[in-house]
Amino acid sequence: MFRWIAWLLVLGLVACGGGAGPAASGIDTTVADEATTTSTTVTTTTSPQIESWEIINRTSGDEGETLYILVDPGEYTDVSIENFLGDLLEEETAVHGVEIFDDRAALEAALKPQEERTDEENQLIEQHHLVSLVEGRQVEFRGPLSEYPAFVIGS
């Protein structure tokens, strides 16, 4: 009986290639490559929106009011400024002009007559005056945003 089992083992080994590997047995053992996973990260950069602001002064003229607005310091873009002005003009319908600053001392210096300002105050205004809305529609970028071109709002 022991010989019979040994004989079956030998036949089984021969049928399977005798342990000589897949090629000797005639069995194809191709293994598929491991799945390759590619991930892509999409980064959307949005400019900070003006969320906190305060009207510091209103001056009235024949054409309407000019607002002097203080905003929090931030990395604003032409898009964030346009969005802010669009929202503001929906609320403040009698606005003819807007002056936006991100520093209170610069805004207060801008309210002084130009001939009364010191050189330091003029420098402060240059550094912190962000944008002017002229004649109710013309947006002109100032100081740190002066790289952006002027445009007419709503066009």
Q: What's the longest Cα–Cα distance across the chain?
A: 121
Residue 66's domain comprises 53-152
Per-residue pLDDT at 66: 96
Q: Is 7 contained in some domain? A: no
Q: Is 140 contained in some domain? A: yes
Q: Is 48 contained in some domain? A: no
Give the model confidence (pLDDT) of 35-46 as tens digits. Answer: 555 545 544 456
Q: Is 102 contained in some domain? A: yes
- 85-116 burial code (b ≥16 CB/10 A, e <16): beebbeeeeebbbbbbbbbeebbbbbeeeeee
Dig out the tokens for 56 from the structure: 């510091």
Q: Is 22 contained in some domain? A: no
Q: Is 57 contained in some domain? A: yes
pLDDT by 10-residue block (mean), the chain, 155 residues: 48 52 51 53 61 93 94 92 92 91 98 97 97 95 96 83
Q: How many domains does the chain have?
A: 1
User: Of 142, 64, 149, whose CA–CA distance to 106 is shortest?
Assistant: 142
Per-residue pLDDT at 84: 94
- Cβ contact 134:74 at 8 Å: no
User: Of 45, 98, 50, whose CA–CA distance to 76 is shortest?
Assistant: 50
Which pTM was predicted?
0.69
